[in-house]
Each structure stands twice: as C-alpha cells, then as structure tokens.
Chain A
Amino acid sequence: MQEAPMSFKARAERALADPTLKLAIDRTTGTAERKRAVAMTQFPQFEAARECGKRIKDHVIAHLDHYLLEFERNAIASGAKVHWARTAEEASQIVVSLCRQAGAKRVTRVKSMLGEEIGLPHALDEAGIERVETDLAEHIVQLGGDRPSHIVWPSMHRTREQVSEMFKRSHRAPHREETIEAMVDSARRELRDKFLSADVAISGANFLVADTGATCTVTNEGNAELTTTPPRVHIVTAGIEKLVPTTAHAFAMLRLLVRSATGADVTQYTTFHCGPKQPGDRDGPEEFHIVLVDNGRTRMLREGLKEMLRCIRCGACMNHCVVFRQLGGHVYGGTYPGPMGAVLTPVFDGLKSSRDLPHACTLNGKCQEVCPVDIPLPTLLRGWRDRSWREGLEPASMRVGMGLFTFVASRPRLYRLATAVAIRVMRLFSRGGTVRGMPGLGAWTAHREFPAPAERSFMAMYKDLEKGQ
C-alpha cells in the first residue's frame, strides 16, 4: 500500500482528528505500558539484564563478520540453504523466486517486520502468489488493505468494534457473539485450512543463533509453529543484526524482549528452527531457506547508527512515546514507527523525504529509559537533525533565524537591548496577563495562552538593584 504523497504534518493532523484511532492507540499502548510496569516490579534484575543484553548485542555487532560466517557454516551443516541479500529488492526477489521454484500457489506468512521492510507482501502480491497472513493482527491488516501501525501489534489502529465489522464482512462463517473469543474463532475457521494447504511458509526470526545455525521465533498465537510445519518449504528472512552467539544468549535477550513488549515473563511459543526435516523426523519442511538481509545495516555501522543495531523490536519506545501515542504508526510513513522508526526510516527511505520524523520529537528521553538495550534514541534522532542541517534540508527561515539569534546572543549588550524590545512588543499585545494576536506567535496561541512577560527583564532589574546597593 503506497501512502498518498501527503506531508507528515497533513498525515499528523488527519490522525489527530480521528477519535476512534486515538481510542485504539490508547487501549493498546496503555495496556502495554501498564503490563510492562508490573513486569518491571517483578524483575528487579532488569538493569543488570539490560546491561548484559546491551553487551551481547554490542559484541555481536563489533564481530558481525565472524558471527555471520559461523552462523552460515552451522546453518548449512544443518541442511539449510543460506542466501544473502544486500537490499530490500534483492531480498524480496530471492523469496519470490524461491516460491516460484517451489511452484507455490499459496504461501502462509508469519508476521515479521523485516518482511514488511523488504516489501515482501507487495512483492508476493505482484508475483500473483496467494499470500495468507496467519498472525491474527496481520490478518486484520490484510483484510483492511493497509499497513502495520505498530511493530508488535500491527493492527493496533483498529478498535475491536472495527475488527468485528471487518470479520463479518469478509469471513465465510463469521462470529455471532461480540466477544474476543468468538472473533478469534472466526479468524481460526477462516484461516485453519489455508494453514494446512500452503506450499511455502515464510517467517522472520527474532534471533539467529550462530553456534547452532538455528533461527528463533517467538509468538503468542502459535501460528508460527502451525504455519511453518506443514508446507514443503520454509523460508526465514532475517536482518543480519539478529545474530547472537549461542542459545543461552538468545534466552538472555528473550527475557528483555518479552517483558518489554508485552509484560509477560515468556511468550506462549518460543520455537527454534534448525534445518529441514531429517530422516526419522515426523514432520517439518523438506527445504529450509534462510535469507540474510543487510538493507542498510552495514551502512548504519559506518554512519554513526551502530547502537540502533541493538534494537530487538520490542516496541516499548513507541508505547511510551507521547508523540506516537497521539499519532499512531501510519503517520510515520515508513515500515517502523515511533522513536525507533524515526531513527530507521531515514536510513531506508532517505532523510529528504523523512526529515520530519527526527524533528517531531520533544527529546524527552522516555524512549531510551524504557529501551531494554539502552539505545540512545534521542541522541540518534539529534544526529539526524545535525545531518539535516548540514545537508541544507532545514527551511531557510530557520537557518536565518538561528544565525541571527546567535549573532545577537553572543553579544550580551545587544542581547539586553533585543530582550527589552521583545518585552515591549509582547506587552503591547498583552491583555489580562496574556499575549494575544501577536504576529509570529500563532503556532503557540492557536492552542494555548502565551503568558505575558514582566515589565522588565531580570538582568535589567538586577542591574538597577546592584547600582542601588
């Protein structure tokens, strides 16, 4: 789905004017925030675990070449086929051609943000391959013909009332009772036979375990297991930053991931896939492919965004972001929304088309505080602002204004004079303690009062006092 070329601000305003969207966002992020808070009270080792998780990730990122080769060796030894993709297009083309080679008419997909990042849903649709989304939320996204709005709850932007209507319109045997259980059953009836009749299953991976060559996926619905077992071919797509040295490291990361995402101790299902079906195995795919995707990640290493590669896609930063909680995910315009998306989207889509994202942030630091791998998101966002300024993407008015301000502010006498003039002007527009209708203040006064300044500045009054002493 291509967004119409609407500006960020226009998208934001549309979202802000949608009370149903706000209700949906508040329900999901509010619940996530509460559950995480409870989980944290029961996880006193969080800070230590976080430090450990951060170190694991940093270590792997510093030795990416080593672990990638180790993973490839072990994956091949387990019977998997490993493919390397430099770009999003390469990655989705590899997957599409693997599907074609398998003669696939129907593929089942387990939700993976990397799949979204490489444009896989679109590529499969284009190739005329029937795509069945097996994750409940992704199924809702598919029915709605839109894009995920959250990395953990892709259909967060829909209220359950809206979902109920969608199911009634499109399911063969929809639910009759308005309960969540009945709706889930409706989806189950709709999807179950498709699970079993697919030719190829495509999933992502939360971790790639270097010393075994296994991929690890976590879900709460069990759809990953059901999806990836019956088909003949299983394709895993994963970003190269998903590597961990050993299974124990995967579990160390998992403790952080699950608590930060849903507040649970563990996910319902944690599955390790290691190669295709072996002689004597009761089930499993005949072919097991792993597509390792770079798509800008090695560039991030070079361009000062190394820390972002620690991200384990838990969604805590967006659940706690005041801006995300007003806008939801679609406004961000990229695959990934929220603070982490505002750092990543300029990498994938270029800064020019996404310069609003790093700017539409108060730099309040809450995202970093909750991030389970302590990614300095505000610093990285500010890094994009620096770059935007350097590359001349900031409006001329801003550049001239800042230059002028600095000129004045580095000359204290001139600055005192300018302050006195500014106070005069503001007071000319003041009534009842409030500045009204002053040109240039509209962005503020459209929504709130602007308190009038005192008659004279602190520095002016202080100077008089000193003289009087």
Chain B
Amino acid sequence: MTQPQSASRPPSPPRVGLFVTCLVDAMRPSVGFAALKLLRDAGCRVEVPEAQTCCGQPAFNSGDTADTAVLARRFIEAFEPYDYVVAPSGSCVGMTRAHYVEALADDPAWAERARRLADRTYELMSFLVDVMHFTPAGVKLDATVTYHDSCSGLRELGVYAQPRALLDSVSGLSLMPLEGNDVCCGFGGTFCVKYPAISNAVVAEKADAIDRSGARLLLGGDLGCLMNMAGKLKRKGSRVRAFHAAEVLAGMGDGPAIGEER
C-alpha cells in the first residue's frame, strides 16, 4: 500500500478487470452483477476476464506453495492488462495484494509482476470510495442493518470506513452496531470444514451477537463469511437475513437473501 491512494487519479474512464471470485461465481452471481453495476455507475469500463478462476487462497492457507504459485501466475496473466483489478471480497484481494509477492518469492521476475499488480488491486468498496470517490445515488432500502467486518478486508486492507460511507447514502437504511463486529466469524476458508466443531462454536457466538444487534439484515463484504453466518442464523431459526453489501448498494436488497429460495 505504498501508493498514496487519493493521489492516484484514475485514467478516465479506468479499465477495470472484475474478479468475481470463485465463490461468487458458483454460489451467488448476484454479487458479481452488483459489483459490475456499481463499477459502471462509478464510471469505470468494466471487463470480466474469461480466464479467471480462483486466486489460490485455499492452497496458500493449506501450505501448498507449489499449487499457490501456479494459480497466482494464472491470475496475474489474466489481470495484468487492466488499469485496476477489483473484487467483491476482502479475502481474495488480501491474497493477491498482500500475499502473491510472498507466494512467488522464489521467482523474482514473477514476484515483480505480482508486486506491480498488487498496487492496482482493490477490494470493491475501498475502490469505489478511495479511488473513484463514488457515492451511489437514488438507492432506497427501508431496513435496519448491521455490518460484520471480515478479517482480511479489515486487517490486511484497512476496509472499515468505506462500506459505511457507501451505506450511508442508501436512504431508509439504518445501521445498528454489532457487538464484536471485528471478531472473526469462524469461517477461515478450509478451517470451517477441517475443524467444524470449533468453527461452529465461534459462529454460534457470532450469530447470537447478530441477533442481539436488533437488525433485520446482516451485511458484509465477503461471501464466505456471509454464507457461514447466514447458514448459522438460519439453522438457529433467526429471522435476520444476510446480503453482500454490494447487493444492497446496487439496489438488489429487496431480492432473495443468502440461503433463501429464489
């Protein structure tokens, strides 16, 4: 994060490569379409590179450095041509932005390419606010919501104020504080299936806190965490519904929530 973000005037209109992330691609395309809409509304020329798949985070966090390097190189090749790379996920962007250089450290040429790409890769909401200085217009949703700050976005990228600033422009929406908003939900990628009992204990506490917030909607910026929390909320019979914040910002907050029949 060496480049001063506000000083980097976007080439107009900037050419953005949208990385929808493997989870959004397979599980909840609406998040991808929401991102697409928001980026276009913000004045970007958005393209969705056909060659994108997965950023390699599962391999990286499993200690499988060889497979990580394979997927990291693939990703870099696919996204290098763009002015910016944007994804609706703090954890995937954390991976490309904070860890690719490390994962490709053995190969200086690739590490250098990774470094150059990292500087242009952004989490969706921080890109909209920090780079595009964008405010969504005319979005309305009568709801009390609460926000979970997913760990990678929060700690690796400093995403905290941006989603709140964007949500502030949605009329009718009121944000309720969430106790332990910055405490991990217990998802942790493969952690949740490698250590299901521990993960469950963690997400159970999170779900209780969400219920206590009094909000009707849970929002966040990472689909993995949201699926974990939404799945737990539903299992415990909570009435809180979960959306990716991008969906609400793109005016899709009245559609089916995560885990609801379409």
Bound CA span A449–B191, Å? 17
Kindly state whether residue A86 has any CB partner on chain B within 8 Å: no
Partner of A450, one of B28, B186, B231: B231
CB distance from A357 to the nearest CB of B (A): 11
- A:348-383 near B, CB below 8 Å: 359-366, 368-369, 382
Given contacts A458-B20, A462-B48, contact A451 B26 (CB under 8 A): no
A355 and chain B: residue at smallest CB distance? B63
Kindly state whether residue B62 has any CB partner on chain A within 8 Å: yes
Q: Collect the chain B residues with CB atoms within 8 Å of residue A398's CB.
A: 62
Q: Collect the chain B residues with CB atoms within 8 Å of residue A452's CB.
A: 259, 261
Kindly state whether residue B96 has any CB partner on chain A within 8 Å: no
Bound CA span A434–B36, Å? 26
Q: Is the CB of B184 within 8 A of A366?
A: yes
Kindly state whether residue A467 has any CB partner on chain B within 8 Å: no
Among A9-17, A49-57, A244-252, the stretch in contact with B: A9-17
Given contacts A365-B156, A412-B53, contact A448 B197 (CB under 8 A): no
Q: Collect the chain A residues with CB atoms within 8 Å of residue B156's CB.
A: 365
Q: Collect the chain A residues with CB atoms within 8 Å of residue B59's CB.
A: 402, 405-406
Q: Collect the chain A residues with CB atoms within 8 Å of residue B28's CB.
A: 451, 453-454
Name which of A434, A461, A462 has the most chain B CB atoms within 10 A of its CB: A462
CB distance from A176 to the nearest CB of B (A): 37
Name which of B60, B64, B192 has the most chain A CB atoms within 10 A of its CB: B64
Given contacts A12-B195, A362-B186, A456-B29, contact A385 B20 (CB under 8 A): no
Q: Is the CB of B235 within 8 A of A419?
A: no
Q: How many residues of chain A are within 8 Å of chain B by beta carbon?
A: 62
Q: Collect the chain A residues with CB atoms within 8 Å of residue B71's CB.
A: 406, 409-410
Q: Is the CB of B61 within 8 A of A422?
A: no
Q: Is the CB of B259 within 8 A of A385?
A: no
Q: Is the CB of A389 within 8 A of B64?
A: yes
Partner of A402, one of B64, B152, B183, B258: B64
User: Do most interface residues of chain A lie in helix, strand or loop, or is the interface mixed?
Assistant: helix
Given contacts A364-B184, A366-B155, A410-B74, contact A389 B62 (CB under 8 A): yes
Query: Could you mark each residue 57-71 of chain B with 1 if its beta carbon is under 8 Å from any beta carbon of chain A, else 0?
Result: 011111111010011
Kindly state whether residue A4 has any CB partner on chain B within 8 Å: no
Q: Is the CB of B188 within 8 A of A364?
A: yes
Given contacts A382-B61, A434-B259, contact A412 B50 (CB under 8 A): yes
Q: Is the CB of A359 within 8 A of B194?
A: yes
User: Do most interface residues of chain B lie in helix, strand or loop, or is the interface mixed?
Assistant: helix
Bound CA span A222–B32, Å? 61
Q: Collect the chain B residues with CB atoms within 8 Å of residue A388's CB.
A: 63
CB distance from A168 to the nearest CB of B (A): 32
Bound CA span A384–B28, Å? 33
A327 and chain B: residue at smallest CB distance? B198
Bound CA span A87–B149, Å? 44
Given contacts A366-B184, A449-B231, contact A458 B24 (CB under 8 A): yes
Query: Could you mark each residue 194-233 of chain A with 1 if its beta carbon is under 8 Å from any beta carbon of chain B, else 0?
Result: 0000000000000000000000000000000000000000
CB distance from A465 to the nearest CB of B (A): 9
Bound CA span A131–B151, Å? 45
- A:426-456 near B, CB below 8 Å: 432-434, 443-444, 446-456
Q: Is the CB of A369 within 8 A of B195?
A: no
Q: Collect the chain B residues with CB atoms within 8 Å of residue A369's CB.
A: 155
CB distance from A13 to the nearest CB of B (A): 6
Q: Collect the chain B residues with CB atoms within 8 Å of residue A451's CB.
A: 27-28, 227, 230-231, 258-259
Kindly state whether residue B228 has any CB partner on chain A within 8 Å: yes
Q: Is the CB of A406 within 8 A of B227?
A: no
Kindly state whether residue A322 has any CB partner on chain B within 8 Å: yes
Q: Collect the chain A residues with CB atoms within 8 Å of residue B194's CB.
A: 359-360, 443
Bound CA span A419–B32, Å? 16
A331 and chain B: residue at smallest CB distance? B198
Given contacts A385-B61, A389-B63, A402-B58, contact A322 B202 (CB under 8 A): yes
Further 6 A-B residue pairs, CB within 8 A, beyond A364-B151, A444-B231, A451-B231: A359-B191, A359-B195, A362-B186, A406-B70, A448-B232, A458-B33
Q: List 25 A–B pairs whose Cβ atoms lie within 8 Å, in order of A's numbering.
A: A9-B195, A16-B197, A326-B198, A360-B198, A363-B151, A363-B188, A365-B152, A365-B155, A365-B156, A366-B155, A390-B63, A402-B59, A406-B70, A409-B56, A410-B53, A412-B51, A412-B53, A419-B25, A432-B261, A447-B197, A448-B203, A448-B234, A453-B28, A458-B24, A459-B25
6 closest residue pairs by CB, A with B: A362-B188, A385-B63, A448-B231, A389-B63, A451-B259, A458-B29
Using CB atoms and an 8 Å cutoff, list the residues of chain A in contact with chain B. Answer: 9, 12-13, 16, 322-323, 326-327, 359-366, 368-369, 382, 384-390, 394, 398-399, 402-403, 405-406, 409-410, 412, 415, 419, 422-423, 432-434, 443-444, 446-459, 461-463
Using CB atoms and an 8 Å cutoff, list the residues of chain B in contact with chain A. Answer: 20, 22, 24-30, 32-33, 36, 48, 50-54, 56, 58-65, 67, 70-71, 74, 151-152, 155-156, 182-184, 186-189, 191-204, 227-228, 230-232, 234-235, 256, 258-262
